[in-house]
Amino acid sequence: MKIKLIFSLLFITLLSCNKEDNSITPDKPSEQKTVNLTVDGNARSFIVYLPTGYNNAGKMPLIFAIHGGSGTPEGMINIANFKPISDREKVVLIYPAGIQNNWNDGRPTTPNQLGINDVSFFNQMCDYAIANLSVDGTKIYATGISNGGFMSSRLGCELSNRIAAIAVDAATIEATTIASSCNPGRPVPAIYIHGTTDPLVPFTGGQMTAGGTAGGTVLSHFQAVDKWITINGCTSTPVITDLPDIANDGTTIKQRVYSNSTNGSEVVSYVITNGGHTWPQGYQYLNELIIGKTSQDMNACEVIWSFFKRFRRL
């Protein structure tokens, strides 16, 4: 009788162990899909990339990677491929699509002339991501190139209740309406990356006229940096570092870090001497004669993520 009881207990124990092992959910592979939304009566879409193991990652950070004028989400993936970072760090990526491949960043772009409310589009994408993608609502970030960079600036100004930090490449801030009214009400850590020989967005600011762009008046690189220094209450004296010239490609990069020791906010400037309208270590999407050099002296995706992950919206 005792032997039968012992065997019964062993059987129950083994059964319990097997049940526990079966309850472990294996990591799912990465997933990429297109999502469609209707915003203010307009059909909108965006590409979502979920990292390997997203089902076991808990609440994840989110990066909006925003294409430039005449660009596409697929093209932005090629230019600024955050997927390796996404898989390694468990970050959700959204590559959104602009109306007629452009954004209402405050300049007279097509969406601007059509009265498209792109800030509302990003707000609704945040709602979708939090509800459906296991996203941490305090860790939502925006970055972009050119028109997408100007849009990132606008989101920092007007959607600071959702956006924790921004990173702007080959762009600054539209000067007449966006910069003049930019008052987010909270610190928004910011990076600005700009080539001194950008042929489309002038490093020194002013009227945009080159390359058939939408035009508009924009701040210079340092005016944009100063704007966020003021908003974030950062010191006006930066810590300056010359990044190693690892590529010997005719470009060099100077980093300036402006910080606020009280609230922990930062503004970082990367000036790329001889850099063009490009994403550092990104895809050279047009000939160098048209858009200038792509610096190989830093990986913009890695630099931007290293910056973003230090901040959350409070």
pLDDT tens digits, 31-63: 999 999 999 999 999 999 999 999 999 999 999
**What percentage of residues in the chain have a pLDDT greater than 90?**
89
Helix, strand, coil % (nearest 5) of the chain? 30, 25, 40
Of the pLDDT bands very low, low, confident and very high (cuts 50, 70, 90), residue 214 is confident
Tell me the pLDDT tens digit for each residue of 280-305. 999 999 999 999 999 999 999 999 99
pLDDT of amino acid 2: 43
Give the separation between CA 191 and CA 303, rounded to whole angstroms: 10
Q: How many other CB atoms are there within 10 angstroms of residue 248's CB atom?
A: 9
Mean pLDDT, residues 162-188 taken together: 97
The yes-or-no verdict on residue 213 having pLDDT over 80 is no
What is the rounded distance in angstroms from the CA atom of residue 208 to the CA atom of residue 167?
21
Tell me the backbone φ, ψ of residue 57, rounded to 5 degrees: -90, -10
- Domain positions in the chain are 27-308
d(C-alpha 76, C-alpha 80), whole Å:
6
pLDDT in tens, 120-153: 999 999 999 999 999 999 999 999 999 999 999 9
Helix (H) or strand (E) holding 124: helix 118-132
Q: Which residue has the higher pLDDT, 151 or 213?
A: 151
Name the 3-class secondary structure at 188. Answer: coil
Considering the domain 27-308, what is its CATH architecture?
3-Layer(aba) Sandwich (3.40)
Q: What is the dihedral of CA 150, 182, 97, 108, to 10 degrees?
A: -70
